[in-house]
Structure 1
Amino acid sequence: MTELRVVDVAEEQLDSVWQVRIRSFGPGGDREKWQQNARTFLDDGRLLGVVDGDGDGDELVAAARIWPFEQWWGGRRVPMGGVAGVVVAPEYRGRGVGSLLMRGVLRRCAEKGYPLTGLYPATTVLYRHLGYEFAGSRYKFSLQAADLRTLGGRGAAVRRAGVADADRFLELASAAHADRRSNGPLIWPRSEIESWLADEETFAYVADDGFVVYNWSDGALSVDELIAGSEETVRALWATVGSGSSIARTVHAYCPPYDPIHLLAEHEAEGDAKINRWMLRLVDAPAALAGRGHAEGAVLEADLRIDDPELPANTGDWHLSIAGGVAELKPAEPSADALHLGPRGLAALYAGTPVATLRGAGLVSGGAALDPALDLAFGGTAPYMLDYF
């Protein structure tokens, strides 16, 4: 008898992962580059697979990798395991292999100390079954390059950036997201930022209080990220991108829907903005809530009943205290006034979904008197990501 089991992918199994990937996503990409990247996940157990076999001649039939991110929530950084490259061989689909794999991913995220895990779903059915819920979006807007070119900002000195500026980019992004109390943006490992800055097809410029990273995309320009701490720098960096308007009529911009560029550009972004939604799950509820920033004026004392069948450590009766922008979740005695929720409701609440919406979807019940205080504590700017992983 053979059995399906979760394993750490080994070097000699990378060819098998590649084959399953091709059958799942179709041909494309550079095999050598993919394998080089995949090896960075092998080193510390962030590439998991499912094998079918008895130990001898195991066949790898599914795989997933975990990115070591940090994510901004309420202006504070929370470690997050970004799940990507989830693939299952066609002949093994519909047999619970994806669920088996993702349960292994959740356990590994817990072992790695990631209070959160997030992903872009190819299907919501699998991930909702395991406790993930929609938390935010990735927005792609299309602007007229000529509009950007005329924004000015000549008072801000802008220079080309290189690999040596990686730490500066991290400092500038951190300062901006803390000041804005951002929800959702990622912090990539420093090595990844260095590789982007070393890529000759990536254009990066830095000012005293901001930077921009962009590239060519099918005859248009595409802005991956623009951070600016002042109006003058906002104008200068967008004008730098817009200086290519004689060649590129359009600039695609990955940015939040409330970015200053929407107020500065003479013409509004094209109406067909592209939106990719992403999902979130709490792996360690006390650590996730303690790590998140909350509204400074919010004061909350609330009893919760969490039922998490996949991660039993989250299950139980808890007392949530929030004051001064900081939360604490401690075990408590059962309460008749508790807010009842599962992992999907907890993830959506964490992301700032109004409690009335969660009640309408049946994701929370009880504790109705808590709704206004919960909305205040978890509210804020709409969560967004700039990156697809």
Structure 2
Amino acid sequence: MSGNINIRRMGREDWNESLDLSSFAFQYPLTPEEREERLAQMVPEEQWGAYVEDKLAARMTVLNLETWIQGKVYAMGGIAGVATWPEYRRGGLVSKLLCNALSVMREQGQTVSFLHPFQFAFYRRYGWETYAEYKQYEIAVGQLPRFEPQGGRVVRGEPDIALLDSLYETYAQCYNGMLKRTESWWKNRILERKKGTTAVYYGADGEAAGYVHYQVKDRVCTVHELVHLKREARLALWRFLADHDSMIDKLVIRVPNDDRLPFLLDDPRIKQETIPYFMARIVDVKSFIEKYPFVSGAEAAFLLEIQDEHADWNNGVFTVTVDESGTARVAAEPLQVSDLPSVSCSIQTLTALLTGYQRPSFLQDIGRLQGTLQGLGMLERLVPARTTYLADFF
């Protein structure tokens, strides 16, 4: 692309044009009220633009978020709203924005990044890889579960964000890749954008143990979120939803990929679909691994070779030493020959592996992970098994 190209944070004077670009690219009109609301929610440090001859040509948001991985909170850069005006497309502007975002996220201590792709193959070129999928059920009213009554009670009412978040956080830690939500995220992204009703399950002991957030419209019950901390909460909330049978023809819900509801149904032949959802990328290999809780119990050391053409700080060979507690230390490996066990892969493969989306043995089988027999065996033992899931969108 000819002309002077500059990547920089957008000034407030460009925010309206940025909204125009997003509205045009993603084909959603904004009312004046919605525009004012979006402007009020924009964070200056998160807004990035690609300028050609000082004109805004492309834009991107790098959200300052946090995510749960193996029970730990990681600072995460959420890539969102990537858009380019048609006359500037295929000129490499998104590539420049993404490469700039990697450097910015590293500087900000965001060791991992998530995004929702318009095309998976495109973002794989820059190091992102699929990390989360979900199952979607469509259940006809006659197939809804009829579980036995539980000892507690389900209470509908105005959403108590503090209560909902306490339940959500306990649930979220059981999966890799769930967001750690803030109060503003609950208000603006969950309750404001997903209209409906909230109901909380309280056990016989009076303690809250789950909730459901749902909407009934046009004879369809859309379950935005169902969180349960105990088996009884899950059964009670499903019974509660089934009691809407006179109002609906079907229920639609998204659930983690390890959900086994169909096995519990009298008629398990419901409509279900597995949908690839979000992509992830490790931004800083050293920092990410040094925080990562590997399986404890035995010491281990191996060489890790990473190919990452868009983040040179990741591209190379590292010595990874894991102590008995599962804590790792990472050091750059000098070029001399080492007799340590070794593994080698791309940054995409490492991301799929350490987020828990794919096991080392599978990645080896498909040719995405190479190494010595001992090194591959170490990874299989060291990486904890945990399902990935993301209940949010950005």
TM interval, shorter chain, is: 0.7 to 0.9
- For 2:392 and 2:291, locate their aligned partners in 1 and report how far apart those are by CA, in whole Å: 22
> What percentage of residue pairs aligned between the two structures are identical?
22
What is residue 91 of structure 2 aligned with on the other side?
95
1:210-229 mapped onto 2 (5 Å cutoff)? 210-216=210-216, 219-229=219-229
Partner of 2:199: 205
Give the count of matched residue pairs: 381
CA distance in 2, matches of 1:157, 1:6: 55
Tell me if 1:278 matches 2:278. Answer: yes
- Quote the Cα distance in structure 2 between the aligned partners of 1:37 and 1:361: 44
Q: Which of 366, 369, 375 in structure 1 is aligned with 2:380?
A: 375
* Residue of structure 2 in register with 1:185 after alignment: 178
Indicate conservation of the 8 Å contact 2:113/2:281, yes or no: yes
| 2:240 maps to amino acid | T
8 Å Cα contact 1:149/1:243 also seen in 2: no
Contact kept? 2:167, 2:209, Cα under 8 Å: yes
Larger deviation, residues 276-285 vs 365-374: 365-374
Aligned to 1:33: 34
Residue matched to 1:13: 14
Q: Distance in 2 between matches of 1:52 and 1:271?
A: 48
C-alpha distance after superposition, 1:79-136 (max 9, x if no partner):
2212111111112121111101111222222232211101121123431121111122
Pair 40,245 (structure 1): closer, same or farther in 2 beyond 3 Å: same
1:241–1:79: structure 2 CA closer, same or farther, 3 Å change rule? farther
Q: Please state whether the residue corresponding to 2:379 is helix, strand or coil.
A: helix
What is residue 291 of structure 2 aligned with on the other side? Answer: 291
Q: Is 1:339 aligned with 2:343?
A: yes
Which letter maps to 1:186? L
Secondary structure of the structure 2 residue equivalent to 1:98: helix
Match of 1:248 in 2: 248
Structure 1 stretch displaced more, 358-367 or 104-113: 358-367
Structure 2 match to 1:77? 73
Aligned partner of 2:163 in structure 1 is 168
> Unpaired runs of 5+ in structure 1?
none
> Where does residue 236 of structure 1 map in the other structure?
236
- For 1:358, which of 337, 349, 363 is the aligned residue? 363
TM, length-normalised to structure 1: 0.87
- How does the TM-score come out when normalised to structure 2? 0.86
Greater CA drift, 343-352 or 284-293: 284-293
Q: Is the 8 A contact 1:205 1:212 kept in 2?
A: yes
In structure 1, give the amino acid aligned to 2:21: V
1:298 and 1:160 map into 2 onto residues whose CA distance is 49
- Output one character per residue of 1:13-70: Cα deviation in whole Å (capped at 9) or x when no partner: 1232233223322244546425523543333x112111111xxxx2211111123332
Extract unaligned runs of 5+ from structure 2.
Answer: 202-207
Structure 2 distance, partners of 1:379, 1:96, is 38
| Superposition RMSD in Å | 2.7
2-structure distance, mates of 1:189, 1:333? 43
Task: Determine if the alignment matches structure 1 residue 119 to structure 2 residue 115.
Answer: yes
Q: CA deviation at 1:366?
A: 2.8
In structure 1, the residue matched to 2:205 is none
Q: Aligned to 1:135, which of 127, 131, 137?
A: 131
